[in-house]
Amino acid sequence: MSTPTPLIPALIIIETTSLLILSLVLGVRLTANLTAGNLLIQLISTATTTLLPIIPTISILNTSILLLLTILEVAVSIIQAYVFVLLLSLYLQENI
């Protein structure tokens, strides 16, 4: 069975809107994930520099945590880039 002729214009609008929203959601998801990690790194580095003159041992501990978090953030960025490219290619294959 095929689509009734009067519904074709409405379906074109719905499909076009769906494609635009999927692209927008993908970009927002990527931005939110990367921003959250950068914000956490910024907060810990500010705490580290603030605590350095007051409590040096805690500041050194924060520095080691910051180093581990930076490594984790690089790994997350690589995974996010992979997921972004994978989902984008799937969306494009679906609609070409």
Residue ranges covered by each domain of the chain? 5-95
Q: Do the beta carbons of residue 41 and residue 66 sit within 8 Å?
A: yes
Specify the pTM: 0.65
Measured CA distances, 41 to 18, 54, 73 (Å): 35, 20, 9
pLDDT score of 57 more than 70: yes
Q: What is the pLDDT of residues 59-79, one digit of tens each?
A: 889 999 999 999 998 998 898
pLDDT score of 96 more than 80: no
Q: What is the pLDDT of residues 37-53, one digit of tens each?
A: 889 899 989 988 998 88
Q: What is the pLDDT of residues 6-35, one digit of tens each?
A: 888 998 899 889 888 887 887 888 888 888
